Amino acid sequence: MSALVSCEWLRQNLHHQNQVILDASFFLPRQQRNAKAEYQARHIPAALFFDIDEIADLSCPLPHTLPTAEQFSQQIGLLGIDQDTQVIVYDDNHFFASARVWWMFPVYGHDNVKVLNGGLTLWRQLSYPLTDQVYIAMAKSFKAIFQPALFVDLATMVEIQRQGSRQILDARSEDSFHGQRPSHETGLKLGHIPGSLNIPYRHFFDQEDHTLLPINQLLATFSSAGVVLDKPMVTTCGSGVSAALLLLALYELSITKVPLYDGSWAEWGRQGFYQSQL
C-alpha cells in the first residue's frame, strides 16, 4: 500500500469526513523563508499548520526532536485528530518535513497518515484552490502509544555503528556528508557516522513536478548507493528531518519498520567518540 495520495485525489476529497490536512512546511535557515507566514498567506483549504519546531521536545538542546508521548497526545488532539482520523500531510519543500511528520504519527501508534505527492508545489502548478483562511480545529482526544522499533536514540546508534548491525543511510547532501560544507554551529564537527552510506534526499523526487520517483528509479537510487534492501537499515541526516524521506521511499518499496536516528548529525557530530572519515 502506498503512503502517497495524489493532488487530484485530495482536490476531490478536501472535505472528507474525519480527515485532517496538515501543512508541515519547514525551511532551513539558509533558505530564508518563513513557513508559518507562507502558510498564513496561502495554503490548501482546511489545512492546519504543523510546526515541527513546536511539536517537539523543547527541553532538548537539539532541534525539533521527538516530543514525549504525553506532549504529542495533547498537541495532536488540539489539531482535531483522534485514533480514527485520517491525516494528510504536505509541505512546500520537496517532502522535507511532510515525510518527517508522516514518520512521527506511526512512532506514536497512528498509521492512518498519507503524504501529498508533489506537495504544495505541484498543487500550485495544477492551479488547485488555495486560501488564506485559517481553520480552527475542534479538539479531540488522542492517545499516543510509543513504537520503539521506529526510533533510534544516541546510545542505540552507537551500538549499531560499533557492531555494524544495520546499514546506516545518510540523507544529507554530498558536501555535508564529506565534511566539505562549513559548519556555523558551535561544537559541531564535520563529516559523517563511520560506515554510513550517503543517499542525498534530493535524489528521490522529480525535479519538475516534485513527486516521489517511480518504483524502478527508487530501486536504482538505493542500489547505486550500495544499499542492500533485504538487510537491516537505519536512516539519519542533519537533524532528523530529511532522513524520513528515505523511509518514505523505502515504504513505497514495501520495506517498513525501518527506524530513524532522531538526533542525527546534530547530536552525533558533537560527541567525543567522533571518528573522522573525510
User: Catalytic positions, please?
Assistant: 237
Q: Quick check: helix, strand or coil at residue 228?
A: coil
> Backbone phi, then psi, for 188, in 5-degree steps?
-90, 115
Give dist(CA 241, CA 260) in Å, integer.
9
- CB-CB contact of 67 with 101 (8 Å): no
Identity of the residue numbered 107: V
Nearest to 134 by CA among 39, 238, 224, 19: 39
Kindly provide the b/e burial profile for residues 90-113, where b requires at least 16 CB atoms within 10 angstroms of the residue's own CB: bbbbbbbbbbbbbbbbbbbbbeeb
- CB-CB contact of 234 with 225 (8 Å): no
- CB-CB contact of 252 with 219 (8 Å): no
* Residues in CB range of 51: below 8 A, 6 or more apart: 35, 36
Radius of gyration of the chain (CA): 18
- CB-CB contact of 154 with 148 (8 Å): no
Identity of the residue numbered 172: R
Q: What is the DSSP letter of 241?
A: S
Angle between helices 243-252 and 98-107 (to 10 degrees): 70
